[in-house]
Structure 1
Amino acid sequence: MNFLTLTTDWTWYDKLIAHIPKGRLFSWHAVFDAIPSILQHLPTTLGLTVAGAFFGLILALLFAIVKINRVKILYPIQALFVSFLRGTPILVQLMLTYYGIPLFLKYLNQTYGFNWNINAIPASIFAITAFALNEAAYTSETIRAAIQSVNTGEIEAARSLGMTSAQVYRRVIIPNAAVVATPTLINTLIGLTKGTSLAFNAGIVEMFAQAQILGGADYRYFERYISVALVYWAISIIIENVGRLIEKRMEINSPENITDEIAGGVR
């Protein structure tokens, strides 16, 4: 049973929308009546978003480091990989992971005698993989640009004080780069949240898929799509406002005078 079903009593909501008239051609009642059922699948949508953003951010950081340092062998592979991910639709990437990963695992089973149960792998794993890879391809450029925007004078000052490369990254580069990258990363997160609506193609029942199911039951597709659009809109507004609070917080704590801060002592 779904999380929201267990914790939310929608009786008050049903009484509220009971006064909304049910039209024949178009029904506002059908629009608002579908929202509780759609929200029951909000944890699935958020789970796909958070997991995709988390693993995508890690991969993006690796991609950015490889590109900045022009790592031999890895750099051409990274460039080709990112170019492919940025040049193909995310729906195509989702289908490639959905059908490609099981095919690859079957090959490993046949070639090396593994006994992996491919049918037991949740479809959400394939979706998260596709979202993470797509997120990494776009976010890597944001992170790369943010890292390279850090004042070289601050980096040199930190190194002149005897800081290690790890300390320079932790106390100078990452704090400064995070301030620059955060607004773009927030926008990317909003885009990823909306992009999870494609997961229904992999058999995952998230919010958009639930809206389709409801529309198929009474052929009120237009009303159900308005319902899910309102929910996505509300989520985007929340993420945007949380992002603004984070930006303000980071501006307060950003090391604008990092040299004076470092002079207080090197950890």
Structure 2
Amino acid sequence: MSLDFSFIWTAFVSLLTAVPTTLKITAVSVLCGFAIGTAIALCRMYRVPVLHRIAAAYVTVIRGTPMLTHLLILYFAIPLIVDGLAERFDWPIRSAQIPMIGFAYLSFSITAGAYLSEVVRSGLLAVSKGQMEAAHAVGMTTPQALRRIVFPQAFAAALPNLTNSVIGMLHGSTLAFTVSVVDINAQAEIVATTNWKFFEAYLAAALLFWGMTVLIERLSALLERRVTRYSRGGVA
């Protein structure tokens, strides 16, 4: 078998059209997941009545089941729920109006929330309890102390794990093709069907993902150097 380098380049250029979709799925899932994860982590750390048990169960169930399973469950469950409610209450909306990428946004955000909750929790636990006590001593409320003192330090401690989660969601976004979302992998398959050169097409996809991963790592390294500058004076 001879490798067609010219087609690898052709496929690579064609795959660039799918990059915005992949990046949107990754960005939405990470941002929404980070918000969910922060809320979950705080509920568990401060043992909010009832909620902390629900939060723990959510993390256990989501982390204990595959990402693809979450997507397929929502893909089949949401239309049943939406159409059922619409028929019962005579609503104008139907599941057919939901864009396919919406299922990916929702599913991946839920998945990211469980994993990022542990990232956030590990970052918060890395901050000395004395920081919160000192903040209270100078008259700060707990929300003020969290926002001004604890969260910045926790973010710095959690950044390496957060970067790994972002990369993981970038790679996991390839599952979106199972619900007919044209991401990079789906575009690679479309391109390959023109002359059945699947190896070259998927190799081009691998190179593109590798390039985006390296870029995320470089940006993370720059951000890590900036957010950890405050600790050079010995702040624990």
TM-score by length of 1: 0.84
Distance in 2 separating the partners of 1:96 and 1:184:
28
Q: What's the CA shift for 1:254? A: 4.7
Distance in 2 separating the partners of 1:65 and 1:74:
10
Structure 1 gap segments, 5+ residues each: 1-23, 260-267
Query: Contact conserved, 1:102 with 1:118, CA < 8 A, in 2?
Result: yes
Are 2:27 and 1:46 equivalent residues in the alignment? no
Which residue among 120, 141, 144 is the counterpart of 1:143? 120
Distance in 1 separating the partners of 2:232 and 2:74:
41
Which residue among 81, 88, 91 is the counterpart of 1:114? 91
Distance in 2 separating the partners of 1:64 and 1:153:
19
Larger Cα-atom Rg: 1
SS in 2 for 1:191: helix
Which residue among 171, 192, 195 is the counterpart of 1:218? 195
Q: What's the CA shift for 1:256? A: 5.7
Distance in 2 separating the partners of 1:65 and 1:154:
16
SS in 2 for 1:218: coil
Structure 2 gap segments, 5+ residues each: none
Instruction: Please name the residue that 1:232 is paired with.
Output: 209
Instruction: Please name the residue that 1:66 is paired with.
Output: 43
Amino acid of the structure 1 residue aligned with 2:96: N
Q: Deviations over 1:31-77 (max 9, x none)?
A: 12211110011111111111111100000011101111222222222
Query: Taking CA–CA contacts closer than 8 Å with sequence separation of 6 or more, which of the two structures ends up with the larger relative contact order?
Result: 2
Q: How does 1:34-183 map to 2 (within 5 A)?
A: 34-183=11-160
TM-score by length of 2: 0.95
Percent identity over the alignment?
Answer: 33
SS in 1 for 2:193: helix
Distance in 2 separating the partners of 1:152 and 1:25:
62
Which residue among 198, 223, 235 is the counterpart of 1:246? 223
Distance in 2 separating the partners of 1:54 and 1:102:
25
